[in-house]
Amino acid sequence: MSILLKNGSLKGEKNVDILIENDKISKVAPGNSLKDDKAEVIDLTGLIILPGLVDLHTHLREPGREDAETVATGSAAAARGGFTAVHAMANTLPVADTAGVVEQVWNLGKSIGLVDVYPVGAVTIGLKGENLAELSAMADSTARVRIFSDDGHCVSDPVLMRRALEYVKAFNGVIAQHAQEPRLTKNAQMNESELSGRLGLTGWPAVAEEAIVARDVLLTEHVQSKLHVCHASTAGTVDILRWAKGKKVNVTAEVTPHHLFLSQIHCESYDAKFKVNPPLRTDDDINELRKALAEGIIDVVATDHAPHPMEDKEGEWSSAAFGMTGLETALSVVATAMIETKLMTWADVARVMSEKPAEIGQLTEHGRPIAENEIANLCIIDPNASWKVDAKDTHSLSTNNPFHDMTLKSKVIHTIFRGKFSMKSGQVQK
Amino acid sequence: MKKHLVSAHDLNKDEAVLVLDTAKELALISDRPVKKLPTLRGRTVVNLFFEDSTRTRISFEAASKRLSADVINFSAKGSSVSKGESLKDTAQTLQSMGADAVVIRHGSSGAPHLLATRNWIDAVVINAGDGTHEHPTQALLDAYTIRKHLRNSEGDLNGLKVAIVGDILHSRVARSNAILLKTLGATPIMVAPPTLLPVGIEKWNGEFSYDLDEVLPQVDAVMMLRVQQERMSDAYFPTTREYSRNFGLNAQRLKTMQKHALVLHPGPMNRGMEITAEVADSTNSVVIEQVANGVSVRMAVLYLLLGGSNSETGENN
Reported as a pLDDT band with limits 50, 70 and 90, residue B313 is: very low
pTM for the predicted model, two decimal places: 0.94
Cβ of A197 within 8 Å of Cβ of B131? The answer is no
pLDDT digits (tens, 9 = 90+) for B216-247: 999 999 999 998 877 777 889 999 999 999 99
> What whole-number distance in Å separates Cα of residue A290 and Cα of residue A307?
25
Chain A residues contacting B, CB < 8 Å? 189, 192-203, 205, 269-270, 311, 314-319
Q: Tell me whether residue A425 is exposed, middle or buried, using C-beta atoms within 10 angstroms of its C-beta: 0 to 12, 13 to 18, 19 or more.
A: exposed
CA distance A393 to A59: 19
Of residues B43, B66, B105, B226, which has the active-site annotation?
A: B105
Encode pLDDT of A104-134 as tens digits.
999 999 999 999 999 999 999 999 999 999 9
Local confidence band at B311 (pLDDT 50, 70, 90 cut-offs):
very low
CB-side exposure of A325: number of CA atoms within 13 Å?
A: 32
**Neighboring chain B residues of A308 at a CB cutoff of 8 Å:** none
Q: What is the pLDDT of residue B316?
A: 39
Q: Name which of A200, A269, A314 is nearest B133 (Cβ-Cβ).
A: A200
| Residue A354 Cα, gap to closest chain B Cα (Å) | 39
A239 pLDDT higher than 70: yes
Q: How many alpha carbons lie under 13 Å from residue A383 in its C-beta half-sphere? A: 18
Digit-coded pLDDT (tens) for B62-102: 999 999 999 999 887 645 455 567 888 888 998 898 999 99
CA distances to A262, B20, B157, B162, B285 from B220, in Å:
43, 19, 11, 6, 12
Closest CA of chain B from A201, distance in Å: 6
In the predicted model, what is the mean pLDDT of residues A317-328? Answer: 96
Give the CB-side neighbour count of residue A51, counting CA atoms within 13 A: 27
User: How does A65-95 read in b/e, with b if 16+ C-beta sit within 10 Å?
Assistant: bbebbbbbbbbbbbbbbbbbbbbbbbbbeeb
Contact B66, B30 (CB under 8 A): yes
Residue A71's contacts (CB-CB under 8 Å, 6 or more residues apart) are A60, A62, A88, A105, A108, A109, A112, A117
- Cis upstream peptide for A383 (omega within 30°): no
Q: Would you say residue B309 has pLDDT above 50?
A: no
Distance from CA of B41 to the nearest CA of A (A): 32
pLDDT band at B206; cut points 50, 70, 90: confident
Angle at A240 between CA A238 and CA A241, to 5 degrees: 65
pLDDT at residue A199 in the model: 97
b (16+ CB within 10 A) / e for A363-389: bebbbbebeeebbbbbbbbbbeeeeeb
Chain A closest CA to B3's CA: distance in Å?
A: 17
Compare CB distances from B111 to A192, A205, A316 and report the shortest one's residue: A316
SS3 label, residue A332: helix
Annotated catalytic residue, options A151, A304, A312, A382: A304
Q: Other CB atoms closer than 10 Å to residue A342's CB: what's the count?
A: 8
Burial A116-145 (b: 16+ CB within 10 A, else e): bbbbbbbbbeebebeebbebbebbebebbb
Sheet with strand A83-88: strands edge to edge: A53-58, A83-88, A116-119
- Classify B8-134+294-313 by CATH class: alpha beta
A-chain CB neighbours of B108 within 8 Å are 316-319
Contact state of B106 with A319 under an 8 Å Cβ cutoff: no
| Residue whose C-alpha is closest to residue A149's, from A118, A117, A127 | A127
Length of chain B counted residue by residue: 317
pLDDT of residue B308: 58
- Smallest CA-to-CA distance from A330 within A403, A276, A398 is with A403
Does B108 sit within 8 Å of A317, measured CB to CB?
A: yes
Report the alpha-carbon distance of residue B37 to residue B313 in Å, rounded: 7
Topology of domain B136-291 in CATH is Rossmann fold (3.40.50)
Residues written for chain A: 430
Q: Distance between CA atoms of A90 and A62, rounded to whole angstroms?
A: 10
CA distance A256 to A71: 21
**DSSP assignment letter at A206:** H
**Does residue A43 have an active-site annotation?**
no
Contact A198 B113 (CB under 8 A): no
Q: What is the pLDDT at residue B84? A: 60
Contact A200 B175 (CB under 8 A): yes
Question: What residue of B is the nearest CA neighbor of A267?
Answer: B110
Distance CA(B60)–CA(B103), nearest Å, equals 8
Nearest Cα residue in chain A from B170: A200
The residue extents of the domains of chain B are 8-134+294-313, 136-291
Is the complex ipTM more than 0.85? Answer: yes
Is the Cβ pair A203, B130 closer than 8 Å? no
Q: Which helix (DSSP H) or strand (DSSP E) does residue A40 occupy? A: strand A40-43
Other Cβ atoms within 10 Å of B38 Cβ, number: 11
CB–CB of A381/A413 below 8 Å?
Answer: yes
Residue A311 to residue B86, Cβ atoms within 8 A: yes
Tell me the domains of chain A and their CATH numbers: 2-48+374-385+397-428 (2.30.40.10), 51-360 (3.20.20.140)
- Angle value at C-alpha A147, between A143 and A153, nearest 5 degrees: 115
CA-based nearest residue to A164, from A146, A144, A182, A148? A148
Using an 8 Å CB-CB cutoff, list chain A residues near B111.
Answer: 270, 316
Task: Return the pLDDT at B312.
Answer: 43
Output the 3-class SS for B153-174.
CCCCCCCCEEEEECCCCCCHHH
CA-CA distance, B66 to B37, in Å (whole number)? 6
Q: Which residue of B has its CA nearest to A200?
A: B133
Beta-carbon pairs below 8 A across chains A and B: 73
Q: What percent of chain B has pLDDT over 90?
A: 78
Least confident stretch, A131-140, A312-321, A400-409: A312-321
- What's chain A's average pLDDT? 97
Pairing of strands A227-229, A251-255: parallel
Q: What tens digit of pLDDT does each residue of B124-166 get?
A: 999 999 999 999 999 999 999 999 999 999 999 999 999 999 9
Contact B293, B264 (CB under 8 A): no
Concatenating the DSSP letter of every residue in chain B gives --S-BSSGGG--HHHHHHHHHHHHHHHHHHTSSS----TTTT-EEEEEESS--HHHHHHHHHHHHHTT-EEEEEESTTSGGGGT--HHHHHHHHHHTT-SEEEEEESSTTHHHHHHHSSS--SEEEEEEETTTB-HHHHHHHHHHHHHHHSTT-S--TT-EEEEES-TTT-HHHHHHHHHHHHTT-EEEEE--GGGS-TTGGGSSSEEES-HHHHGGG-SEEEEPPPPTHHHHTTSSS-HHHHHHHH-B-HHHHHTS-TT-EEE--S---BTTTB-HHHHTSTTB-HHHHHHHHHHHHHHHHHHHTT--GGGGSTT-
Residue A49's closest CA among A376, A430, A403, A329?
Answer: A376
State the pLDDT at residue B286.
97
Residue A46 has pLDDT above 50, yes or no: yes
Name the catalytic one among B66, B133, B135, B170.
B135
DSSP letter (8 states) at residue A121 = B
Confidence at B310, pLDDT banded by 50, 70, 90: very low
> What's the pLDDT tens digit per position in A344-388?
999 999 999 999 999 999 999 999 999 999 999 999 999 999 999
CA distance B54 to B225: 18
